[in-house]
Amino acid sequence: MRRAILVAVALCCFVIAQSASAGDVEENARVMEKAARSLTFSLPDNRAYMLEKQSGLVGDAGWSQLAVIFGYVDNGAACRDIADALTEKSVLLRKVYGFADKFECNPIDRKDARE
């Protein structure tokens, strides 16, 4: 199951990263977030989550939006599982690259929908 989740997240990250410039990536993330705000869920307390990454590279302290997580019974738990798996892998790769990325999830709230 974890492997399938990682493959799905990697595919989402690949699609976002294929943009020609940072502006395109940011615009793609805004489009994904806007679309997620329009989703309706069968469970009233459920909502989509944005998976975000903080690079461990020196001088790159900002957070990047990677993927919108939805379609699970508990989207928050699913997003945290994905973030934990990615963080665990990043920590293991610290020996190779000398840094580790951090991953976290933030709820996408429908109430403050932005145009």
What whole-number distance in Å separates Cα of residue 57 and Cα of residue 105?
Answer: 20
Q: How far apart are the first and last CA of the chain?
A: 36
Furthest CA-CA distance within the chain? 44
Distance of CA 112 to the CA centre of its chain: 19
CA angle 93-94-99, nearest 5°?
A: 125
Say what the pLDDT of residue 93 is. Answer: 77
Assign 45 to helix, strand or coil.
coil
- Determine contact, residues 86/6, Cβ cutoff 8 Å: yes
Q: Which band of pLDDT confidence, cut at 50, 70 and 90, is reported for residue 19? A: very low
Find all residues with CB under 8 Å of 83, minimum gap 6, and list them.
51, 103, 104, 105
Q: Which residues contact 115 (CB under 8 A, 6 or more apart)?
A: 34
| pLDDT tens digits along 38-76 | 888 888 778 899 999 887 766 666 788 888 998 898 999
Q: What pTM does this model have?
A: 0.67
